[in-house]
Structure 1
């Protein structure tokens, strides 16, 4: 294990236990998903941004290409979403909708260089923000027709999330404004403020907000406004907030990964891992993280590393059943990419004699960026766009 990584608890500093590649998770705790009709309706699957669907069936052994669609010079700007028969791909130039079965383009929305954020889908409607337009719009998922538009004070970079009833949306802009919006009409029903550009939102027991200035807020939402329950400073720009069953995990750019406490010790650290992953997924038992230097799986209770793999994993992970799906590769004109599947258990044995860890690897023409989605029995990934190797969307299914 690299010496630069240290495990910090609220009780003090201790070194991480175990070896990379050990069977620290145990295959018996997770089962393969069996439902091949699932969707991935939000950027990280659900309102809590867990990026984990225990029921989703997805390729675990050999894999084949269902289709691959070129994005005509557009590069990915956020993770794809899969719902209502569409694969929705945010890009530097438009939100692009592809047919789930064939990969054919059905519609696109946006002007040149709008930089769309990750969308969310509910009841036949796509909700998406555009950074350069300072706007948030609702679109018909089948046709792309605009249903309503909200002009925002600043640019929208963070993906939106829903309240517990799915009738209200929350979003934040780069001026620090928070909005509560009626999902049907687009009417703003509440406004609030935090310090710094909003970079992450998640719905836990209450609304969680992360900022570029390195702060995490939990806000109680009521008819009169947003009330701060707690506010926590972290060491780095907040890239991800992930929640599962009330647990709160925070990823930062260049800083630690945190598990934050709820209850009597709200906002304090249950554990921290220095120089941790940028992108996170959570199952309740474990946290999976990826960044440019590797893939790591942590014990959710202690923060100790169960297993890890070195590599250029710049895409955000997705978990389906008992399998972690991840993408990455070398960036640039001479780079190449891949999509991989790993057993959530990490395999059997101790590196380099670990067996059954990596289930498959599929090479692609350039680095996989932003994040993966798992739906309809397949894995969806988007590659970096280059002059000699245009950006592509891949749908991979069992061979």
Structure 2
């Protein structure tokens, strides 16, 4: 562990490499951009509302959403908890825990259409098409009315962090950057961005001016995360950093080279209760690890080895009770007790994870996409499969959950919406070209990236909820309490024949299996879920009693 005052490593903030911000009035007809909301003709991408059958049975949420007709108006939905649809998405993973679950959010569930598209191959300042732009592994961040996204190309001198007007899709400012394969983060009025030129930079959110630059020892593949006066980020130099957000100096550094050589850190860390959870990805023959680090000083709280082999851990997510880790080295999902980090609660086989395949956590379910070309839903307490639904191509980025729907994008550029309950396909929509992105649900719409552009998508909305899936219903007989085991029984991965089945939900609607497989989602799984939900409620009650 080393602490550095930043004098030697931190470069002075000259602000000379940031272009002057523009007023966003560039003539998009001249530059080839497609900014603006109103369209005389439909978008070139066909709207595909191919559903696998009726996909109700989720129960209505407490707020009623109306169908969108293309207007970019902020639409909020309130609930009993008073939580509104977010107008910002400030960090990769949505929140500190990487849940990727904006609770009670209104989001499109069908008839998807494009509101605007921002092409990174177009020079939105000088005009013309000037490079073969590329947006990879860098989902957008939304803050202060701006959409922030980094790009990369073979022309390293023409890569930028772009700030785009959230409502109109027009250029606001751009900051020259190296190739970016990470999402930035926002905090204290600054944008914290990293790229493949071995530095992290602090940028003024309003103007795009550079305020500081911190030099690292290698490429940064980790998306920065801001929390409580620190910017956390991992690097290929075997070091995890905590940087000062105001001046950019190092607050502390954690060196992982004593455990293995060549470890990489992808995605973003998770933070909860003063602990930063960091995953690593090892080369062939080297071990990989997940670390729990003290957020204040970087001391190791605990360490968990994931085994040897090619791969390691994709970015973890933190639930109410457990830490969820996609273990690519072993091809399985794992849940750990966060108190020690060493107690394996459950593990589930049959996954092919890419380095970015972090999970999403929504109450009683954990969801993950994988290179096998599917999205899987599991019970957070037992790991039992709720369903598995197929995609056309591998899913190499995290999924996102909103409005009772799981949103995923595959490598071929198809956006999917799967019902939280049952996994039925609500819609699929071609965003165009290759894509490696996680959708963002903001202002009732979806923000996504393809390989060359950023898009804002709207669509019809119905109000759904994850509540009916997770709420324990009164049983006619008392269920037998199940014991958590390290290796729960595997259910078949083969999706059942697409036949309509009555779903026993409060809504009393009919769902069709379609591509949404339901391995183990029957009476036995229902009893297991009921017992698990009761267990969660009991533990929460005990914690509340302990704190009184």
Q: Would you say same fold, with TM above 0.5?
A: yes
Q: What is the CA distance between 1:270 and its match in structure 2? A: 1.0
**C-alpha offsets along residues 356-384 of structure 1, whole Å, 9 cap, x if unaligned?**
x2222222321331322111211111112
| From 11, 21, 27, the counterpart of 2:58 | 27
Unaligned runs of 5+ in 2: 1-51, 64-75, 78-83, 122-131, 153-158, 258-262, 283-287, 461-548
Taking the TM superposition and a 5 Å limit, the aligned residue runs for 1:1-399 are 27-28=58-59, 34=77, 35-72=84-121, 73-77=132-136, 78-92=138-152, 93-111=159-177, 113-131=178-196, 133-163=197-227, 166-195=228-257, 196-200=263-267, 201-205=269-273, 206-213=275-282, 214-222=288-296, 225-235=297-307, 236-253=311-328, 255-263=331-339, 265-276=340-351, 278=353, 279=357, 280-292=359-371, 293-311=373-391, 312=393, 313-330=395-412, 337-346=413-422, 357-384=424-451, 391-399=452-460
Q: What is the CA distance between 1:127 and its match in structure 2? A: 0.5
- 1:190 and 1:144 mapped to 2: Cα distance? 27
Residues 116, 128 of structure 1: 8 Å contact kept:
no
The size of the alignment, in residue pairs, is 349
Q: Highest Rg: 1 or 2?
A: 2
- 2:398 and 2:454 mapped to 1: Cα distance? 15
Residues 405, 420 of structure 2: 8 Å contact kept:
yes
User: Are the structure 2 counterparts of residues 27 and 177 from structure 1 closer, same or farther at C-alpha, using a change threshold of 3 Å?
Assistant: same
Q: What is the CA distance between 1:204 and its match in structure 2? A: 2.3
Q: What is the CA distance between 1:198 and its match in structure 2? A: 2.5
Q: What is the CA distance between 1:41 and its match in structure 2? A: 0.9
Worse-matched range after superposition: 319-328 or 294-303: 319-328
User: Are the structure 2 counterparts of residues 296 and 289 from structure 1 closer, same or farther at C-alpha, using a change threshold of 3 Å?
Assistant: same
Residues 278, 315 of structure 2: 8 Å contact kept:
no
Q: What is the CA distance between 1:48 and its match in structure 2? A: 1.4
* 1:10 alignment counterpart: none
**C-alpha offsets along residues 340-366 of structure 1, whole Å, 9 cap, x if unaligned?**
22221126xxxxxxxxx2222222321
> Alignment partner of 2:458: what SS?
strand
* 4+ aligned runs moved over 3 Å, structure 1: 28-33
Q: What is the CA distance between 1:219 and its match in structure 2? A: 1.2
What TM-score do the two structures reach when normalised by structure 1? 0.80
> Alignment partner of 1:345: what SS?
coil
What TM-score do the two structures reach when normalised by structure 2? 0.60
**C-alpha offsets along residues 139-172 of structure 1, whole Å, 9 cap, x if unaligned?**
1223211121111222211112233xx2212122
Worse-matched range after superposition: 43-52 or 180-189: 180-189
- 1:146 and 1:107 mapped to 2: Cα distance? 12
**C-alpha offsets along residues 17-59 of structure 1, whole Å, 9 cap, x if unaligned?**
xxxx9xxxx7359777823452111111011111111132211
Q: What is the CA distance between 1:95 and its match in structure 2? A: 1.8
Q: What is the CA distance between 1:277 and its match in structure 2? A: 5.7
Unaligned runs of 5+ in 1: 1-20, 331-336, 348-356, 385-390
Residues 257, 274 of structure 1: 8 Å contact kept:
yes
Residues 211, 238 of structure 1: 8 Å contact kept:
yes
- Give the number of the structure whose residues are more often helix, by fraction: 2
- RMSD between aligned alpha carbons? 2.5
- 1:30 and 1:301 mapped to 2: Cα distance? 24
